Structure 1
Amino acid sequence: MRAGFDTALARVVKMFGPAHPHHAYLFTNRRASRMKVLIHDGIGIWLAARRLKQGQFAWPHLGSEPKQRALTHEQLAGLMLGLP
């Protein structure tokens, strides 16, 4: 995942339009071992990253749904903490 702040923000704008305040946009690499989170806190935009030494981030099952999905606070916390 080489995407920096500008690239991640450009992907958000291309897919969703301008970043919305109090929203987070998550990206992972293909192996789901790295995650970047673009967060609009209402004042500015932050980019955070997390890398797993082993294992993968377990996304909620999407099935045949599009790759865009709204997560609940509990789902986001579980994803970031690595809960099953």
Structure 2
Amino acid sequence: MHALAAVLVARSASVIRIDAAWLATDPLDMRAGMDTALARVIAVFGSAQPHHAYVFANRRATRMKVLVHDGIGVWLAARRLHRGKFVWAAPSTTHWPLQTEQLQALVLGLPWQRVGAAGAITIV
């Protein structure tokens, strides 16, 4: 599954189109399969939109699952860090929109909040 997660994110343009990505702040049990993950997407986001990726982590933020609706079916990928933790959003809201660059940083375990427009310097 590690290779599939890398393909989903790093090469999404050539394999699976992802127009928007969303981060869920509440943890997901990593034993969850496709149907359980899809049910969580519907509960948190209202629906699974075509070409949207929905990202979940376990309670310790050492594993993540990405569910993508490609317009025809659903893809589910898993990723595990051997060291460290994924940088996750505080549960002040149920979900966050992610830019492409933020999603790429997130799956690598980097501080995604500092990437893209969210990391723009606006004052000296």
Please classify the TM superposition score into its range, dividing by the shorter chain length. 0.7 to 0.9
Instruction: Give the aligned residue type for 1:9.
Output: L
Q: Output the TM-score relative to the length of structure 2.
A: 0.61
Structure 1 runs (4+) greater than 6 angstroms displaced: none
Change (3 A) 1:19 1:6: same
Higher relative contact order (CA 8 A, sep 6+): 2
| Structure 1 alignment gaps of length 5 or more | none
- State, as a whole percentage, how many aligned pairs show the same letter: 65
In structure 2, what is the equivalent of residue 69 of structure 1? 96
In structure 2, what is the equivalent of residue 10 of structure 1? 39
Compare the two structures and name the one with the higher helix fraction: 2
Residue in structure 1 matching 2:66, options 22, 37, 50: 37
1:67 positional shift: 2.9
What are the Cα deviations for residues 53-75 of structure 1, in whole angstroms up to 9, with x where unaligned? Answer: 1100113x54x730311011111
Change (3 A) 1:20 1:67: same
1:83 positional shift: 2.2
Q: Indicate yes or no: 2:35 matched with 1:21.
A: no
Q: How many residues align?
A: 82
State whether residues 44 and 95 of structure 2, in contact with CA within 8 Å, keep that contact through their aligned partners in structure 1: no
Max radius of gyration: which structure? 2
State whether residues 44 and 94 of structure 2, in contact with CA within 8 Å, keep that contact through their aligned partners in structure 1: no
Query: Per the alignment, in what secondary structure is the counterpart of residue 39 of structure 1?
Result: strand
- Find the aligned partners of 1:17 and 1:65 in 2 and give their Cα distance: 18
| Structure 2 alignment gaps of length 5 or more | 1-29, 112-124
1:16 positional shift: 2.0
